[in-house]
Each structure stands twice: as structure tokens, then as C-alpha cells.
Structure 1
């Protein structure tokens, strides 16, 4: 099997006369964590929505495990093993942590959204649900309603429900958005722990998180790829410095 799990070629998205993403190429390596970063207005959100099929491209192609997914719908790619999270925690607030994960596990039985199924049948999923919660450090919170969980633990629960869908490719949209330092550290450690056996693409604003987790970083600016590579290389790129700080490398040298 190819080492490239997701192959994006010449992806472009236009909204009327505005080009939000322009001729972007991405090759996501199997088993890696690949971060997409960039300053405000760089096209990160649009790019992420293209990858997760919430937008259809104006032009270009996307292949997952060699299969063309360019015109597939979000539900179709989810069935293929591509699952996304959202910036805003997307869990059922009045269900317990266990019940949230159990709903995700129902999909594997072909009974997704069958809320009227017998409680006994659902209880058969409890052991798997507890295992997923344990994986993200939430085993002791299994019977706590999601609405009562602190924000960082809600995000951990969302990752647990995502894992319940058995994704081959996880797409995480700003996983540490709005978190304090303690929660950022916990979620960063969690992502590093659950990466085994899967590929992760993440849009993330916190460069400390990116530096710790990402094997490869793609920097977008004005909808185009500005730079790509490991953090140590990308962070020293003069064009990246100018895009983030608004000063050129020559100006930085002069100030020094």
C-alpha cells in the first residue's frame, strides 16, 4: 500500500470572484501527523472544509487510499474511514460520556441513530465505550453528563467519540482552541497518544502544539502553499516569518 494516504492535487476553491484556496497540492503520509497552519485569512478553514467535503472544490482532485473522493459527500468519506472533529465541541450535552461514545460505536453495528433499540443491546457496547474513554483519560467520568465536563475534557470526549468511529484518517479542527495552558498540554499529550495506527491532519493556531506534534507542516498564505516541511525548517523560513510577523528577513537582520 502506498505511503501516501491522502493525495490532493491542484485544489482550488472560489467563492464568486474570490479565490480562497488556489492550486494547493498536499500529500499526507500514512501514520503521520500533518499540520496546516497560517496567519488569519490564509485559507486554512476553507482548506479543511475541502478536505472533509463540507465544500466542493472549484477544481482539482483528492484521492484517499488511491480512490477518487473529489465529489463524495461527508457521510460517504466517513464510511471510508475519514472522520473530522470541529472547533466547537460536538457532543450531546445531556448524555453521559459513556452514552456519547456508545452512540459512535453503534455505527459499527449498522444501527446508527436507532435510539429506540433495547437498553440491553446498547449495554453490549459498554465495554468498548469504557475502553475508548480510558484511552483519553475519561474512564472515571463515564457516567457524568457531557454538559458538566470542563472544556478540555469535552474536547477529550469528542476525540473519544471520533475514535469510536474507527477512523483511518482523523481530521482535527483547532483541537486546542479556547483552552488554558493546562488543558492545551493535556489535549496535546492525548493526540500524541492516540495517533498509533492512524493518520492525523490538524488545523491548529497554537505553534507550540504544532512544534510538539507535527511531523510535517504546510503553511498557507492567501490561499496558497507558502512553505512545507518539519517545524524546525518551516519556522526559519523567511517567507513564513514575514507572513506571521509582517516583517521581512532583511528587516529582522537590520534590527539585530
Structure 2
């Protein structure tokens, strides 16, 4: 039996004053897979993410979640379905503790994130789950640290914990390793692999080593349209892909 497509697009298109940023994109994201969107700068990757999570309305096309149309839903409705997005820039509260950041995310899931008048005692009931999530991403020892004091890689790990607190069925990760050194990249790759158990992940990622290690399937965009799709071996061997995006990097890897 083929696995179900948890997220699909048909003819997804976005134009801005005559410029076509996303052009007739068809995606099929298999449940339980880690799926990457890659491509050169300006290929339309982040715009596709913005369309999927309703930060932008599509000009044309259809978005389906588990076979049901969600094209005209609002962003908060999409999130309630379980499509949860992390951003290119770490989106955590710098002057709250690490534990408090995760607790706020847990409150959002309960619909009480703006109940600032709640007593510390009532919020403490969320601490056990918050600490479990911090342990899952290796931040249990940092629970009481101010987030602003964390190095960049650990802030991204915290963002992953806050994403997991929302109990996503589909995690959309936008450049999760951007700006990281090799050690932090390895750490985040391991965290994503662990977090993906029992979930579906769609990620925009520029680091081809990360894509090759993590992803079951890859869609390559160029000039807003799908150029190629398949596993890493088939995509990286496609001469159109090498010319449009991988060319210089692939050549460097082969010569190394």
C-alpha cells in the first residue's frame, strides 16, 4: 500500500505585480518523510513556505492536507491542523528563560498563551512537559538560563523544542542550519532526525550535506518552478540541477 500524501499542492502559483515567484508548483509530501525544498537564491522556496502556512495567499492553485482543501484557511487554522513552521531567524523570547519559552509554547497549544495573569503555581503544572521537551533537544541543563545568553546553535535547538511543544504533525523548517558551524550543524541534524520520528518534515535547506543525510525526497525549484524531484542520488546526478544549483558545489565535492 502506498503511503498517504499528508500535504499536496496542485498548480500552486504566486505572482507579484506581474512577476511570477512560484509557478505551477505541484508537491506531494509523503507522511512520515523528511522532504527538502532546495534551489538557488530566488528560486521561490520561502515563498512556497509562506503560501503553505498562509502568510501569503496564492494567486492560483490548490493546497490539500490529508486530501482536504485548505487553500483558503487562515494561518491560525493551519497551525491548529498541525502544520507548524519554524523561521529562518531564531524566533524565541530573548529575555525569558529557556524553560519559560517552552512553557509559552505549551500555553499556546492549550489556548492560554495570553493569560498573563495566571499564577506561577498554575503555570508550573506545565513545567514537567517543558523539561521533557528540553531534554529531547539536549537543553535540560539550560532550563533556567536566559535565552539571550545561549549560543546560536542552542537557540535553534530551543526553537525546535517550542515547535515540538505545539505537537505538530507536519514541521516546516526554514533553513534550520543557516549560519551554523560544523559542530552545531551535526547537533541540529541529529535533533531533526529525532524530532521527525512519527512526524512529517518539510524543510528549506541550503546545506547539501544536511539534505543528503536527512531527506527521503527532494524537490528542486528554479525560477519558481519545479526543476526536478527524487532522492538525493538521482537529483544530484541530474545535469539540469547541477547547472542550475549544485554545479559549483558538486564539482568542489568531487575534486575534494
TM-score in terms of structure 2 length: 0.94
| CA positional deviation for 1:66 | 2.2
Which piece of structure 1 moves more, 236-245 or 208-217? 236-245
1:35–1:210 contact (8 Å) kept in structure 2: yes
The correspondence of residues 1-256 of structure 1 with structure 2, limited to 5 A, is 3-244=4-245
Which piece of structure 1 moves more, 238-247 or 165-174? 238-247
Cα distance in structure 2, aligned partners of 1:41 and 1:130: 39
| CA positional deviation for 1:52 | 1.4
* 1:118–1:47 CA distance, 2 compared to 1 (3 A): same
Runs of 5+ consecutive residues of structure 1 not aligned to the other structure: 248-256
Cα distance in structure 2, aligned partners of 1:148 and 1:229: 41
Which deviations, in whole Å up to 9, do the C-alpha atoms of 1:128-151 show, x marking residues without a partner? 000000000001100011100000
CA RMSD of aligned residues (A): 1.3
Cα distance in structure 2, aligned partners of 1:178 and 1:246: 22
SS of structure 2 residue aligned to 1:227: strand
Which piece of structure 1 moves more, 220-229 or 237-246? 237-246
Cα distance in structure 1, aligned partners of 2:114 and 2:32: 31
TM-score in terms of structure 1 length: 0.94
Cα distance in structure 1, aligned partners of 2:114 and 2:92: 14
Cα distance in structure 2, aligned partners of 1:2 and 1:210: 21
How many pairs were matched up? 247
Runs of 5+ consecutive residues of structure 2 not aligned to the other structure: 249-256
Cα distance in structure 2, aligned partners of 1:128 and 1:234: 40
* 1:108–1:20 CA distance, 2 compared to 1 (3 A): closer
Name the structure 1 match of 2:251: none
SS of structure 2 residue aligned to 1:124: helix
Runs of 4+ in 1 over 3 A off after TM superposition: none
Which deviations, in whole Å up to 9, do the C-alpha atoms of 1:193-228 show, x marking residues without a partner? 111111000000000000000100000000100000
| CA positional deviation for 1:31 | 0.5
| CA positional deviation for 1:245 | 5.3
Which deviations, in whole Å up to 9, do the C-alpha atoms of 1:146-174 show, x marking residues without a partner? 10000000000000000000000100000
